[in-house]
Amino acid sequence: MGRSAPASKVCSPDWTKRPCRPIGPPPMPPVDRRIVKVRILDREYSFASKGEEADAHIREVAHLVDEKMREVGRNARDATPPPAPLQAAVLAGLELVDELLRMQRDVSSVEEDISERTNRLTESLGQLFREVETD
């Protein structure tokens, strides 16, 4: 009786003479996985990272979140009771998303302005070239 190979491997008809080989692309080389530790509201968090550039990005994001949560805490000092860390995180998240949405609207408005100016410039240049061609 012959043995059958697992479904994910291909074997020669005579499995005793040649080893099985995996089906599909070769395995991916290992990725440079690193751990970045950051502090937010005096609490340490660890994140997986894929290099120095990613490390810097994670640190920058964590710094902004920490700043926003501290700002929320300062602004709510008069609240009774003061906001718990989870409440501060939710409020900070809402404020950050609000800022993001306002910036996206600003970018969209600027893009529309650039598009309008580009169209006017294109029309003006087209008219100028037509005038030069008729002379």
- Please name every residue paired with 77 in a beta bridge, in sequence order, or none if there are none: none
Is there a domain that residue 2 lies in?
A: no
Helix (H) or strand (E) holding 21: strand 21-22
Asked if residue 80 has pLDDT above 90, the reply is: no
- C-alpha closest to that of 9 among 20, 1, 25, 19: 20
For residue 33, give every residue at least 6 positions away whose Cβ sits within 8 Å of its Cβ, in sequence order, or none.
48, 49, 50
Residue 130 domain flag? yes
pLDDT digits (tens, 9 = 90+) for 41-66: 999 999 999 989 999 999 999 999 99
Global confidence as pTM = 0.60
Q: Is the pLDDT of residue 6 over 50?
A: no
Does residue 4 sit within a domain? no
Number of domains the chain is built from: 1
- The verdict on residue 97 lying in a domain is yes
Q: Which of 66, 32, 73 is nearest to 49 (CA)?
A: 32
Mean pLDDT lowest among 21-25, 41-45, 131-135: 21-25
Within a domain: 60: yes
Q: Which two tokens stand for residue 53?
A: 């550039």
In a domain, 1, yes or no: no
Name the residue range of residue 93's domain.
9-78+85-134
Residue 30 located in a structural domain: yes
Q: Is residue 119 part of a domain?
A: yes
